Chains A and B, each alone.
Chain A
Amino acid sequence: MAQLTSALPASGLRARPGLLARIDLPRRVVFAAASSMILIVALLMVFITWQGIQLFIADHVPVGQILAPTWQPDATNGPTSFGILPFIAGTVFVTGVALLISTPLSVGLALFLSEVAPRWARAIVQPALEIFVGIPSVVWGWLGITILVPFLADTFHKKIAISLPVVGQVFSMPGFLTGFSWLAGSLVLSIMILPTITSVSYDAFRAVPQELRTGSLALGTTRWQTIRHLLIPSALSGVLTAVVLGMTRAAGEALAVQMVIGNSPSMPAAITQPVTTLTSQITLDMGNTVFGEPWQDALWTMSLVLLIISITSVVLVRALNKRRMGS
């Protein structure tokens, strides 16, 4: 049917087109609107890349130095070192733990919505998820500071450390002295990326043909066996896409994370300890540094790293989708 319609306008059924129709102004306008996004991306990449490489061009910092573990940008403090490895590691680790927490929960929720939930339950949970998406990141950060951080500090530092033998040991070894920690950041992020992973996985599960389910169940398998051996394998690339998208969102989140992770600019040591990420260091230092000094140039380099992370993930998602379409 679709082929039929697209063939129609091309044929000579219409009256001879006037000048206006030949120029096809509407088409040009809508094309300009859509392609403006190409312009935006190009501009964004050019500007951020240009600023991001100033550290190497204008300040003559060797490219390899950014992979050093020492962040010492203050020239009054002796020789400078623009190692952003602690921030990259912080971003990777905080994001990693957030994914570990969020993925099972989100995929479970997607399975619940797609396979288990009766209509009425879906009608409640889906809008709830949309509201989750809409809650601003500063509000998550504020909840983190006022509820999560004190909770971690009080509960795991003072009480559980004594009352629970095994868990207590784990938590009391380094101790959540302040509650501002890697784990606090990961927990806040895991809730923030939950709707992303859930909705994309949900779409992947829904895309599995119904006949496969019916066939499987007809063979006498339980619903869980169907999910486990049929649905998850066939929706795997979709779920992976969901995880990559969640990862991208987590790695780029700035304010909520900055508010709860403690921002200690050293290599992440333990999950109970403060760490810092690329985004939070940019947030902290950008306003205090001046344009054009090496210190701020290093921050632009960090934002270039963030840009590279997100573009890579887009490419990754496209590759995953292609594989799914291919199979």
Chain B
Amino acid sequence: MTATTGRVAGGPLGPKPSLRRKTSRGSLLADRAATVVLWGTGVFVLALLGAIIVHFAAAAWGVVSPSFVLSDPSDTGLGGIGPLLWNSIYMLALTMLIAIPVGILGGIYMSEYAGENPITSAIRFAEESISSVPSIVVGLFGLILFVDNFKWGFTVLGGALALTLFNLPLMTRLSEQALRAVPQEERTASLALGATKWQTIRHVVLPLAIPGLITGVILTAGRVFGEAAVLLFTAGLGTPPHYDFTNFKTFSLTDTNTAWWHSSPWSPLRPGTTLSVYIYKLQSEGLGVYVNQIVDGCAAILISMVLIFNLGARLLGRILTRRLTAA
């Protein structure tokens, strides 16, 4: 396994040219052709991604502006997507609030405690199963559990819970990988100093795994942000009303039947259409001459968020690694 690290994959992999001369002209030609084709695949993917980014950048030009990002949707004009963006962010925060602790704790078990036994393999099987279940089936599960059985109706909370159980395996696996990447010597040293296993995990392993954990969190967040099929049946499909962020008049912690709980943008018990779901809604039922522009604008914002999440994960991971290893 150790042989795979390093730069062996590059050009120097081939033997010296003198040795190659033995091979026939035909196989050399095939080799050249293969090299060209394989390079072609790389270029193709980059070109495709470039084209998509350029396409949306061009489409969003003149559409995406501060007022588009912040204002309410309009029936007649270009309007904005403020409430939808808010719902996406709120949904993401709520989902991650549940998924991060459970995912990291699960990752700790899988990396530090799990032995080779039937329960571990059952957990692994469950992990792989949820990852492979279609998102629409998870959405339907959310529909029947949260919307129908719990009688919540369409709520942000129901959507966030459905998203959590859909993304928990990913979060757990990424956490496990991050924790496993911490060198074994660190654990040995800590235990040798008399620390308990949990103290070792808490004060030695977890801090060292932070860069990896953050990467995991951001990658999961990127997936949550773009998901639509899960939310179609759980969190609602509509144009949100105007959100009043100062609405705390009827707030009550004990009585969740007050208007606050069903209308305030801060409440998890209200319907919340997200940006991705809004794209789906607009492309199917949107009215007006601006529909295409609005969808392009939404898509451009989603793609930029994906870019930010990905680049952010890399950058932050790199900075933290440097800091922690330097310290």
A residues apposed to B, CB below 8 Å:
1-2, 4-5, 8-9, 13-15, 21, 24, 26-27, 29-38, 40-41, 43-44, 47-48, 51, 105, 108-109, 111-119, 121-122, 124-125, 127-139, 141-143, 145-147, 191, 194, 206-207, 209-211, 213, 217-218, 220-225, 227, 245, 248-249, 251-255, 259, 279, 282-283, 286, 291, 300, 303, 306-307, 310-311, 313-314, 317-318
Contact = CB atoms under 8 A, between A and B. Distances in A.
A117 B184 contact: no
Interface string B92-107: 0000000001110111
A136 B15 contact: no
B13 A213 contact: yes
A222 B136 contact: no
Interface class of chain B by DSSP: helix
A31 B109 contact: yes
A314 B132 contact: yes
**Prevailing SS type, chain A contact patch:** helix
B36 to A, nearest CB: 10
A303 B279 CA distance: 24
Given A34-B109, A119-B7, A142 B135 contact: no
Contact of B197 (A9, A51, A253, A255): A9
B132 A224 contact: no
17 contacts: A5-B188, A27-B113, A41-B125, A47-B144, A116-B38, A131-B310, A136-B228, A139-B299, A142-B299, A206-B9, A211-B3, A224-B27, A248-B132, A252-B137, A279-B134, A306-B137, A313-B132
Name the residue among B103, B125, B225 with the largest chain A CB count within 10 angstroms: B125
Interface in B211-232: 219, 222-223, 225-229, 232
B110 to A, nearest CB: 6
B44 A105 contact: yes
Given A40-B126, A47-B141, A222-B27, A33 B102 contact: yes
Interface string B29-40: 011011101111
B151 interface: no
Contacts, number: 300
Contacts of A134: 222-223, 226, 306, 309-310
A24 B199 CA distance: 12
A220 B129 contact: no
A134 B11 CA distance: 30
Nearest to B114: A34
A105 B41 contact: yes
A32 B108 CA distance: 11
Interface in B41-91: 41-42, 44-46, 48-49, 52, 55
Given A40-B130, A131-B310, A139-B299, A300 B136 contact: no
A130 B310 contact: yes
Contact of A135 (B44, B128, B141, B303): B303
A26 B205 CA distance: 14
Given A44-B141, A119-B10, A248-B132, A30 B109 contact: yes
A133 B194 CA distance: 44
B4 A210 contact: yes
Interface stretch (B164-172, B239-247, B250-258): B164-172
Interface string B107-123: 11110111000010011
B187 interface: yes
B129 A8 contact: no
Given A210-B8, A223-B13, A113 B145 contact: no
B45 A255 contact: no
A279 B23 contact: no
Contacts of A218: 15, 19
Interface residues of B, number: 110
A255 B276 CA distance: 11
Contacts of B126: 37-38, 40-41
A128 B45 contact: yes
A138 B172 contact: no
Contact of B9 (A35, A47, A117, A209): A117
A141 B283 contact: yes
Contact of B306 (A108, A131, A147): A131
A29 B105 CA distance: 7
Contact of A279 (B107, B108, B109, B136): B136
A51 B40 CA distance: 48
Contact of B45 (A40, A43, A132, A213): A132
A220 B140 contact: no
Contacts of B181: none
Contacts of B20: 220, 222
Contacts of B227: 136
B37 A5 contact: no
B138 interface: yes
Contact of A115 (B13, B184, B279): B13
A207 B303 CA distance: 33
Given A35-B123, A130-B310, A220 B197 contact: no
